Structure 1
C-alpha cells in the first residue's frame, strides 16, 4: 500500500444553490403582496430597474400592454448592442415558457375603465370622500371618565382601571388587588368600577362573562332572579343541558327558550367593536371565467403582476461613459441582477398559470356542480402532469388564490385526501364527504337524530367506506355537536 501523495480527477454532480436560484425559489412561494414589496426594494437598490408606467389598454382597443415584466419592452439599438456584448454568464436564462401565461383576448377590467369615477365625473375623489379615522376604545372611555369623575382621586383610580382593561372590555382583576397596588380602600375601587360599568358600551370593566351579561341585562331592566340563576350556571348552558337549567331557574321550556334567545342578543365582548383593523381583502392571483363554448379560461390578474423593466439604454450610456473597472463591474452585476429578477418573475407567472390550469381541469366537476363533486387530489398528480417536482407545486399553491364563479379559493383548497369507496369503487374527496355529513345532519328528523354510526351506515350505502372515528372527527371540525346534544336541543321547542 503506497502512502505517497497523488492527484486524482473525479467527476460528480451536485446542486449549487446560487443567490439567484434562492431568489427565484423565494419569489415562487411568496404571495403577491410579498412579491410587490420585494420588487419595490429592488427598484430602490438597482439603478437599472424602472417601473413600467404604461397604461394598460382597454378590452376594445385591439391591443394590450403585456403586464408581465420581461416581454414588455422591445430593445432599442443601444439595448441590442449591449445584449450582444454581454457574456453568457450575465444572461442566466430560466427557460420560461410564455405560451400559456396570459390570454390576450378578453379581460376583467371594470366597465368604467381604468381610472376616474364610476359616474364619469371629471373631478377626482377629494378629502371628504375618505373614511374618517375611528376612535379607539380608550379614547371613547377616557372621554366618559373626564365627564363622570370630578374628584382627582376618583380620576386616578379610573385611569388605572382604564389602563388595565383588555381589548374585549374585561377587567378580570379583583378590586382588593387594585386597591393594594394603589394604596387605597377596596370600597373606593369598587365604587369607581361600579360607575364605570355603566359607561357606553354597557358591560365594560366586568370580571367575567356572567358579570358582563348581567350588566347589560340590568341596563335593560331584565335581570330577574331566573335570569340571574341562568347566568350563574352558564356551564350548563354550554353543555346544552336545558332540562337541568329549567329545573335550576324554575321556568318551563318556552320561558327558557326566550331567556336563551335574550342572552344571544347581548354582546359578550363589548370592547371588541373598537380598535378593529380593516379586514384584509384577498386579491386573487388567477382570474377564471367561462368561455362561450363552456370551457374555462384562465389568466393572471394584471393588478398583482409587478411591472418592471430593465433600462438598457441607461446601461449603455453608463457603460460608454465609465472608465473605471469597478464601475463596469458594478454595472454588470446590477444588469445581471435585474435580468435575473425579470426572468424569475416570468418563471413564477408561467408556473402559476400552468399549475392553475391543471387544477381547474382536474376539478371541473366542482366548478360546474359544487362541493359534492370535488375529487381527491394530491401534489404528485399535478406534478406529474406539468412535469415539475412536488415541492415546486407546493410552493406555487402556497398563498395563491384563484377567483372562480363559485368564489375565491386558495389553490391548496383543491388538494384533499382520498377516502376509499366500498367494494373497491371510486374514491371520494374528504371535503366532499364533510359536505355530505353536514347536509345529512341539517336535514335530519328531530324525532330521529342521526348518530355517528347511522351516518357511517348512510355513507356506506352511498359508496363511501369510512370509519366512525373519521365521521366524529369531521363532525367536530364542522363544529356540530354530538347526537346526544342535538337530541337534547331539539327536544326543547326553540
Structure 2
C-alpha cells in the first residue's frame, strides 16, 4: 500500500446551518409567550422592524412573504435582489388605507392581567393595617423566612438570636403571624399547621385535637392501631380522617411565587362548530411586524454605500424574521390539523378514545422530518373541547396486546373500576388486572400498581372503609 500526498477534486452535497436557518429552527420551537418575548427583543435590536396594526397585518404579511422569496443574494459583495423601493411603495399604499381609531374610544380602558400576590405580600398587607404592641420588623423577619407552603423552618431560638430578643418576644411575634389569613401559616410541623386550622371547622368532633397526634399512623394506613390507642372504633377513626381532609396541609401553595406565571396561553385552539373542527393558531400575543418607512431615504441615497449596505442587511434580516414567524404558524397549523384527523374520537368522546400516535405518523402526513414535528410541538399547549393539553399528550403509546388502546385510556378505565368498587371490599391490584384483561387490556399486576400510583390512588388497604 502506497502512502503519499495528492490533490483530488470531489463534489459533495451537505446542509449548511446558516444563521437564518438556525433562527428559523429556534422560532419554530418557541411557545406563544416565548415568541412574543423574542420578537420584543428583535424590535430592540433591529431598527428597521416596527409593529403594524392588526387591520393591515394580513395584507402586509402577504406582501412581505412575496417579496421575501427573492431576498437571497449570491455572495456578500453582490447586489441585493429585493426591490426595497417597490416594497416601501406598497407599504405607503397600505398606510393610506389603514383604519383610523374612533375618537370616542380615546379614554377606553385597555384589558390587562394582574399577577396574584405572593404569600409574603399577602401577609405583610394584613400586618401593616393592624395595631401591634410588638415591633413590625419582628413579624416581617418571620414572614420573610416562610417557605412556599407557608411553613417556618426556623426555631424560636434562632429567631431570638438573630433579632436579639427574648424567646418570649419571638414566640409572641410568631403567634401574631400564625393568626393571619390563611390559617396554618407559620407552622413548624404538619400537626401544628392543621391544629391552627381547627377554628375553620367549628362542628368538628371533640377528639380532633387528640387525633392530630396520630398523623403518621394515618398516612401509613394503620387505622386499627389508632383506634386501639384512642379507644374508639375504626369507623370513628375514618370519620375523623374525613374531617382532617377538609384542612389544607399546605396553606401557602394557593399563592404565586415571585416571578411565577400562573396561567397557560394555548398555542393552538381547536373548536368544534357544526360537527367540524376549526383550528386557530393563537398568535395574539405576538405583535405583527413590518418594515419601518423612515429608512426608505437611506436606500435612495447614492454615494453612501456603507449606510445602504447596513440598511439592506437589516432589511433582509427583518424579512427573514417575518417569514420565519409565518412559517412557524403554517407548520403548527399543519401539525395540529394532522393530529385532529387522528384523534377526532378523543375530541368528541373523551380520553378513553385516545389512539396510539407517534411523531413519525404526523411527519409523514405533513411531509416534514420527525425532528420538525418534535420542535413544532415542544413546550406548546393546545386548547380543545376536552380541556387544555400539552401537544405531547396526543402522542400516546399503546399496549402490546391491544394497539388500539393507549396508556391514558387504560388509566381512565382503571379510575372507573375503582370508582365503582365497594368501599368495604375494594379491588386488589391483581383483581384489577383481571378486570382489565376482560376488557381486552392485558397488563400485569405490577403495571396496575404503577398506573394506580401515577393517578394518586391509594392501595387497597387505604381505600377500605370499615
- TM-score between both structures, scaled by the size of structure 1: 0.77
- Asked if 2 retains the 8 angstrom alpha-carbon contact of 1:419 and 1:429, the reply is yes
The CA distance in 1 between the partners of 2:5 and 2:388, in whole Å, is 66
Alignment of 1:380-419 (within 5 A): 380-419=360-399
Specify the alignment match of 1:360 in structure 2.
340
**Alpha-carbon offset, residue 482 of structure 1:** 1.2
CA distance in 1, matches of 2:280, 2:323: 19
Q: Give unpaired runs (5+ residues) of structure 2.
A: 83-100
Report how far residue 287 of structure 1 moved: 3.0
How far apart in 2 are the matches of 1:362 and 1:85? 38
> Deviations for 1:127-162, whole angstroms, at most 9, x for unmatched residues?
999979868144235427x72325x6xx66545434
* Aligned with residue 299 of structure 1, among 265, 280, 284: 280
Q: Is the 8 A contact 2:146 2:186 kept in 1?
A: yes
* 1:413 shift after superposition: 1.1
Would you say 1:454 and 2:431 are equivalent positions?
yes
Partner SS, residue 280 of structure 2: strand
Match of 2:315 among 315, 325, 335: 335
Deviations 1:436-460 (A, max 9, x none): 1111111112344211111211222
Alignment of 1:101-140 (within 5 A): 125-126=108-109, 136-140=121-125
The corresponding residue for 2:95 is none
Deviation at 1:377, TM superposition (A): 0.6
Shift of 1:350: 1.4
Question: What is the alpha-carbon distance in structure 2 between the residues aligned to residue 411 and residue 250 of structure 1?
Answer: 53
- Is contact 2:148–2:257 with CA below 8 Å preserved after alignment? no
Q: Which residue of 2 aligns with 1:262?
A: 243
Q: Give yes or no for the alignment of 1:470 onto 2:447.
A: yes
Instruction: Name 1:28's counterpart in structure 2.
Output: 28
* Residue 263 of structure 2 corresponds to residue 281 of structure 1: yes
Q: Does 1:479 align with 2:456?
A: yes
Indicate how the Cα distance of structure 1 residues 185 and 70 shifts in structure 2: closer, same or farther if over 3 A, else same: closer
1:74/1:256 Cα in 2 relative to 1: closer, same or farther (>3 Å)?
closer
Q: Distance in 1 between matches of 2:276 and 2:113?
A: 41
TM alignment of 1:32-431, pairs within 5 A: 32-55=32-55, 66=58, 70-72=61-63, 87=73, 125-126=108-109, 136-140=121-125, 142-143=127-128, 147-149=131-133, 157-194=138-175, 196-217=177-198, 226-253=207-234, 255-272=236-253, 280-292=262-274, 294-301=275-282, 303-304=284-285, 306-310=287-291, 316-421=296-401, 426-431=403-408
Q: Could you say what secondary structure the match of 2:373 adopts?
A: helix
The verdict on how the C-alpha distance between 1:372 and 1:202 changes in structure 2, with shifts beyond 3 A counting, is closer
Deviation at 1:185, TM superposition (A): 4.3
- 1:246–1:253 CA contact under 8 A, matched in 2: yes
Specify whether residues 310 and 203 from structure 1 end up closer, same or farther in structure 2 by C-alpha distance, changes over 3 A only: closer
- Equivalent residue of 1:189, what SS? helix
* 408 and 45 in structure 1: CA distance in 2 versus 1, 3 angstrom threshold: same
- Gap change, CA 1:91 and 1:352, over 3 Å in 2: farther
Per mean C-alpha deviation after superposition, the further-off stretch among 377-386 and 244-253 is 244-253
Corresponding residue pairs, total: 440
Contact in 1 for aligned 2:227/2:234 (Cα 8 Å):
yes
SS at 2:55 equivalent: coil
Q: Does structure 2 retain, via aligned residues, the 8 Å contact 1:201–1:270? A: yes
Seen in structure 2, the aligned counterparts of structure 1 residues 149 and 268 have a Cα distance that, compared at 3 Å, is farther
Is the Cα contact below 8 Å between 2:151 and 2:186 reproduced in 1? yes
- Structure 1 range deviating more: 444-453 or 231-240: 444-453
Aligned to 2:96: none
Q: Any stretches of 5+ residues in structure 1 without a counterpart? A: 57-64, 93-114
- RMSD of aligned residue pairs (Cα, Å): 3.7
Q: How far is the alpha carbon of 1:406 from its aligned partner?
A: 2.2
SS at match of 1:233: helix
**Corresponding position of 2:13:** 13
Moved more, 176-185 or 463-472: 176-185
Secondary structure in 2 aligned to 1:66?
helix
Q: Return the TM-score normalized by structure 2.
A: 0.81
